[in-house]
């Protein structure tokens, strides 16, 4: 497939909402879509991490019930610790929508997200869904993405602790990430469940700059 890079200006225009990148991305305006009457197709998938089932969601611009007419660049969205994926990235209300997924589907991306273990429709276990666990979630998810959508590399966006997880995944699997975009990167709590190989927010931001230059 032709692997199209995310244009910095296009990305920032889609993300700069309210107070900026630090705000919840679920507030992205529906009007940012390429055409208000555009059909957005969607489907659900399951990834398997050992015995744990992980719920995944996919959206793209095109006739409902059909398939993309051509391979599209994949954008994978990683949620944080407060909300599940669709609460962050795919909110919909009667006569309105705040769907980040719809916005970037309108920009021409094959948009994916997932509920990490313990969130949304994914299995709940005794685990804490720490950063190391989320990296394993993402590894399982990428198997599904590659099988369904085709590319071996994807653009990855993470916010809050999802940014730390996204950066840790990129650190662990650099050949799977084309562009890495991080927003509202936080500091893992000392001794808490958010510990990862990226000990400081600056480490995650450094990873983001590295992939932006590639």
The conformation of residue 7, written as its DSSP 8-state character, comes to P
- Tell me the per-residue pLDDT of 140-188, one tens digit each, with 9 for 90 and over: 999 999 999 998 999 999 999 999 999 999 999 999 999 999 998 866 5
Residue 66 forms part of a structural domain = yes
Residue 103 lies in domain:
8-213
Cα separation, 148 vs 154, whole angstroms:
13
Q: Is the pLDDT of residue 203 over 80?
A: no
Phi, then psi, of 186 in degrees rounded to 5:
-105, 175
Question: 1 lies in a domain?
Answer: no
The DSSP bridge partners found for residue 114 are 56
**Model confidence at 189, in pLDDT bands (50, 70, 90)?**
low
Is the confidence at residue 25, as pLDDT, over 60?
no
Name the pairing type of β-strands 52-61 and 110-114: antiparallel
The angle subtended at Cα 63 by Cα 62 and Cα 64, nearest 5°, is 110
With contact defined as beta carbons under 8 Å apart, do 73 and 108 qualify? yes
Write out pLDDT tens, residues 27-54.
333 333 444 467 899 999 999 999 999 9
For residue 114, tell me if it sits in a domain.
yes
Does any domain span residue 118?
yes
Domain CATH code at residue 86: 3.40.50.1820
pLDDT tens for 88-147 read 999 877 777 789 999 999 999 999 999 999 999 999 998 778 999 999 999 999 999 999
2 inside domain: no
Q: Phi and psi of 55, rounded to 5°?
A: -80, 135
The string of DSSP codes covering 13-52 is HHH--TT-TTS-GGG--GGGSS-TT--EEEEEEEEEETTE
Q: For position 132, what pLDDT does the model report?
A: 94
Among 57-71, 89-103, 161-175, 196-210, the least confident range? 196-210
Secondary structure (3-state) at 175: helix
Rounded to whole angstroms, the Cα distance separating 208 from 119 reads 25
The predicted model gives 184-202 an average pLDDT of 56
Size of the chain, expressed as the number of residues it contains: 214
Question: Per the domain annotation, does 3 fall within a domain?
Answer: no
pLDDT of residue 185: 82
- Mean pLDDT of all residues in 65-94: 87
Q: Domain count of the chain?
A: 1
Residue 73 domain flag = yes
CA separation for the pair 126, 117 (Å, rounded): 10
């Amino acid at each position: 497939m032709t692997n199209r890079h995310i244009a910095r200006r296009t990305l920032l225009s889609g993300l700069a909402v309210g107070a900026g990148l630090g705000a919840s991305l679920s507030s992205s305006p529906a009007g940012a879509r390429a055409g208000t009457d555009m059909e957005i197709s969607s489907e659900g998938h399951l990834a398997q991490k050992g015995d744990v089932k992980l719920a995944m969601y996919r959206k793209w611009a095109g006739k409902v019930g059909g398939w993309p007419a051509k391979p599209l660049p994949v954008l994978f969205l990683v949620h944080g610790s407060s909300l599940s994926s669709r609460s962050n990235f795919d909110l919909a209300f009667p006569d309105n929508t705040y769907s980040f997924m719809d916005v970037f589907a309108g920009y021409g991306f094959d948009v994916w997200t997932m509920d990490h273990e313990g969130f949304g429709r994914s299995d709940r276990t005794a685990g804490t869904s720490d950063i190391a666990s989320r990296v394993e979630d993402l590894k399982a998810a990428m198997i599904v993405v590659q099988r369904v959508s085709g590319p071996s590399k994807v653009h990855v966006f993470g916010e809050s602790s999802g940014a730390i997880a996204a950066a840790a995944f990129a650190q662990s699997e650099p050949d799977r990430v084309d562009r890495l975009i991080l927003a509202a990167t936080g500091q893992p709590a000392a001794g808490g469940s958010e510990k990862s190989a990226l000990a400081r927010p600056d480490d995650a931001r450094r990873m983001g700059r590295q992939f932006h230059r590639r």
